[in-house]
Amino acid sequence: MRSTRSIPSVLGLALSCLADNPIVQTYYTPDPAPMVWKDTLFVYTGHDEDVTVNNFFTMNDWRVYSTTDMVNWTDRGSPLSHKTFNWSGGKAWAAQCIPRDGKFYWYVTAGKGTGSQPAIGVAVSDNPTGPFKDPLGKPLVSQSWDDIDPTVFIDDDGQAYLFWGNPKLYWVKLNKDMTSYSGGVNVTNMTTAQFGTRTKDNAERKTTYEEGPWIFKRKGLYYMVYAAGPLPEPIGYSTSNKPTGPWTYRGEIMSGANTGSFTNHPGIIEYKGKGYFFYHTGKLPGGGGYKRSTAVEEFSFNADGTIPRIGMSDKGPNPVDSLNPFQRVEGETMAFSSGLKTQGNDQSGVYVTSIHNNDWIKLRAVDFGAGGAKSVEASVASAGQGGTIELRLGSQTGRSVGTISVGNTGGATSWKSVTTTVSGATGVQDLYLVFKGSGTGELFNLDWWRFAPNQTESVHPARQAKDPESLVDVYTASGTRLRSNRRREDALRGLDRGVYLVDGKPVAVLGR
């Protein structure tokens, strides 16, 4: 069900010239918290509702998105809300998730009881996308109105720390179970030497530190990055040789001007050899101080370890990998989109919905290879008259390589696989899925899509791999996973003669 269309289709032509910030357009997604797990970068966000109540933060759940190329983001749904915590009567403010010993710990800000005083809770899962459960049945920290914006860090010696707070910076030493802490709550001495001098001083806030702390360690140096003051919030940072300080103020990373939001929330992480700075803005259509959206910029640390000034961009990062169209791609994987929404349920998972005429999805760096594609398959559902999906290259009005026709399937989640031929999809391209249909109503829903290649590569399993360090996965032609190996020839060695899927592409093994 849609309440408000995040980006009206009439804005499609204007938005197509942008690259891909903010990274999510189907929801407002404040307070980004990135996490790398195996080969995937996840970002955990808040969710500003489309309809703001009482001119204040209206937030009921948290969301998760993932990428392996830094430009195409897959919506992993909302595996956690304030209702997960039976002690909370509302609020779903800033949060951060971290892995440890095969589990994932999501530290959140939620309202305590029926009142509005915030507290910090923790939810635990065996999977980075949930389901998450509250192991305590009570807040982890609940002392005052200062208890917001947790950030968590595990040092090289295994000691974990939790920091939080506005207008002061608090911290505790977490126990190895990650759901309790030893000793009392510590409060950092808020000096200007540690956090800089606020340009508009007041009795309570003399330093630049405001809220939204983010801690990480790099090359033996500890970094405390935070939303600074006065409003609108810039992002500042301090460093230390110890995880709990004392800190040395290092300056401002990002200006608070022109963000379209009076708040901000940083998250810094390194992924595939590059540095990424996450923050939020109010720059989506309809956005603002209570409707904020996650954005990201690529950056490099200075030689001395300091962080450079980082500007906001519409472009965002360059891709660090290509998207393989010959394996199943979830419909909710997008570099940018116009008009539509996503939703999910236990039976169907997350899918694209609220699709209207002229809505579209953009995907970047789609690698069709030299041989190109011969057909495309999509899983769709429609309770009405349906419509079409135009497959275009370069823009939503670019060259058409095929059109998928969608009819009535008997229900909005009665999924049916449809296939059509394509022509001219070769090389690395930006692919647009452009939705067409008559009338002004919703057309159909989209679950996933997958292209088929023009040709099957034939190899002998003993052939030397082109990239011996690449991890390759081998599946049967029907999609059953067989094995993985760093060396392509080792992954294929010993297989019976036949066709297999190697990293999503068909390979005919010729045998010994």
Name the domain count of the chain: 3
From 453, 455, 457, select the one nearest 488 (Cα to Cα). Answer: 457
Q: CB-based contacts of 224: which residues, under 8 Å, 6+ apart?
A: 163, 169, 213, 214, 215, 237, 238, 239, 240, 245, 247
pLDDT of residue 505: 74
User: Does 174 lie in the same domain as 110?
Assistant: yes
pLDDT of residue 497: 66
Using DSSP bridges, classify how beta strands 498-502 and 505-509 pair: parallel, antiparallel or unpaired: antiparallel
User: Does 244 lie in the same domain as 295?
Assistant: yes
User: Does 123 lie in the same domain as 69?
Assistant: yes
User: Does 262 lie in the same domain as 188?
Assistant: yes
Q: In which residue are the tokens 């090389």 written? A: 427
- Based on DSSP, count helices (H) and strands (E) in the chain, helices before strands: 3, 36
User: Does 228 lie in the same domain as 127?
Assistant: yes
User: Does 169 lie in the same domain as 77?
Assistant: yes
CATH at residue 206:
2.115.10.20
Q: 126 to each of 129, 133, 363, how far by Cα in Å?
A: 9, 10, 30
Distance CA 32, CA 14 (A): 26
Distance CA 283, CA 50 (A): 14
Asked if residues 160 and 176 have their Cβ atoms less than 8 Å apart, the reply is yes
Residue 366: inside a domain: yes
User: Does 362 lie in the same domain as 252?
Assistant: no
Q: Which amino acid is at 351?
A: Y
Q: In the listed set 247, 282, 299, which residue is the last one of a domain according to the structure?
A: 299
Which pLDDT tens digits describe the chain residue by residue (512 residues)?
333 444 443 344 344 444 589 999 999 999 999 999 999 999 999 999 999 999 999 999 999 999 999 999 999 999 999 999 999 999 999 999 999 999 999 999 999 987 789 999 999 999 999 999 999 999 999 999 999 999 999 999 999 999 999 999 999 999 999 999 999 999 999 999 999 999 886 778 999 999 999 999 999 999 999 999 999 999 999 999 999 999 999 999 999 999 999 999 999 999 999 999 999 999 999 999 999 999 999 999 999 999 999 999 999 999 999 999 999 999 999 999 999 999 998 889 999 999 999 999 999 999 999 999 999 999 999 999 999 999 999 999 999 999 999 999 999 999 999 999 999 999 999 999 999 999 889 999 999 999 999 976 544 443 333 443 446 777 776 566 677 776 677 777 778 767 777 877 777 776 54
User: Does 168 lie in the same domain as 69?
Assistant: yes
Q: 157 to each of 160, 181, 243, how far by Cα in Å?
A: 9, 16, 11
User: Does 119 lie in the same domain as 217?
Assistant: yes
Q: 314 to each of 17, 121, 144, 206, 366, how far by Cα in Å?
A: 10, 34, 38, 34, 20
Asked if residues 366 and 323 have their Cβ atoms less than 8 Å apart, the reply is yes
**Beta bridge partner(s), residue 81:** 61
pLDDT of residue 201: 67
Residue 24: inside a domain: no
Residue 425: inside a domain: yes
Question: How open is the CA angle 364-368-372, to the nearest 5 degrees?
Answer: 145
User: Does 108 lie in the same domain as 76?
Assistant: yes
Residue 320: inside a domain: no
pLDDT of residue 134: 98
Residue 315: inside a domain: no
Within 10 A of 508 (CB to CB), how many other CB atoms are there?
Answer: 13
Residue 505: inside a domain: yes
Distance CA 190, CA 74 (A): 40
Residue 323: inside a domain: no
Q: In which residue are the tokens 């970002």 written? A: 43
Asked if residues 264 and 280 have their Cβ atoms less than 8 Å apart, the reply is yes
Q: Is the dihedral of CA 12, 14, 19, 21 positive or negative?
A: negative
- The two tokens of residue 139 are 């807040």
Residue 177: inside a domain: yes
User: Does 140 lie in the same domain as 80?
Assistant: yes
Distance CA 39, CA 271 (A): 9
Task: Give the domain range for residue 192.
Answer: 31-299
Q: CB-based contacts of 402: which residues, under 8 Å, 6+ apart?
A: 376, 391, 420, 421, 422, 423, 425
Which residues have a catalytic role annotated? 31, 211
User: Does 472 lie in the same domain as 441?
Assistant: no
DSSP-assigned letter for residue 87: T
